[in-house]
A and B are shown apart, each in its own frame.
Chain A
């Protein structure tokens, strides 16, 4: 069972470059989330989606864009990377019902130099 898969696992970017992180889930989940994790900061919600074709801003959306063209995929884009975006990025998904947990991908470690 694949669950939630993130690609790439590691990436080094130069300031100003762009890139897209891909999150794919095979559990037919409605909800998908992108978080960033920095030391001592827990998980901070960047953007999330409650279904195909929908997206919403989280706690720290600036500098990021997302798209959910297909139910199984949630893409996170950085148009012009900045060193402040150096972080570990986690994707998660869950069913629509309230009583279900969120499943996480293994993370993407992004360094912007």
Chain B
């Protein structure tokens, strides 16, 4: 059974800190790994990673995938209170059921002033 595991499940930091969120996966026929940010409502898309070793970057957020070790990390530098959210990673695979999109439990990040 496909599995996506995120760690830590929750994290409290102060503004200006740098954080690293982890996502490991065990899936068949892996295609892509996606990161989302969820505040009050629907998840919003951050990154999609398909190839190992290629960093995706957007402002203070960056992410990278390691397909050999089956994990991805999401880095946030110089955190701000607006970064407080649940960060979700998801695996897109074409295993026994095509187009399956499985999420981890998320990491709840709280950034204190």
- Chain A residues in the interface with B (C-beta under 8 A): 31, 33, 35, 40-45, 48, 50, 56-59, 90, 92, 94, 96, 98-107
Contact = CB atoms under 8 A, between A and B. Distances in A.
B92 A98 contact: yes
A106 to B, nearest CB: 5
Nearest to A94: B101
A103 B99 CA distance: 14
Contacts of A92: 101
Contact of A48 (B34, B99, B104): B99
Interface string B26-52: 000001101000000111110010100
B9 A40 contact: yes
Interface of B: 6, 9, 31-32, 34, 41-45, 48, 50, 88, 90, 92, 94, 97-106
B42 A101 contact: no
Nearest to B50: A99
A94 B94 CA distance: 14
Contact of B42 (A45, A59, A105): A105
A44 B42 contact: no
B48 A101 contact: yes
Contacts of B6: 42
Contacts of A57: 97
Contacts of A33: 101
Nearest to A105: B42
14 contacts: A31-B99, A35-B103, A41-B105, A42-B88, A43-B90, A44-B103, A45-B100, A48-B101, A96-B99, A99-B48, A104-B42, A104-B44, A106-B41, A107-B41
A43 B50 contact: no
Contact of A42 (B50, B98, B106): B106
Contacts of B88: 42-43
Contacts of B50: 98-99
B43 A104 contact: yes
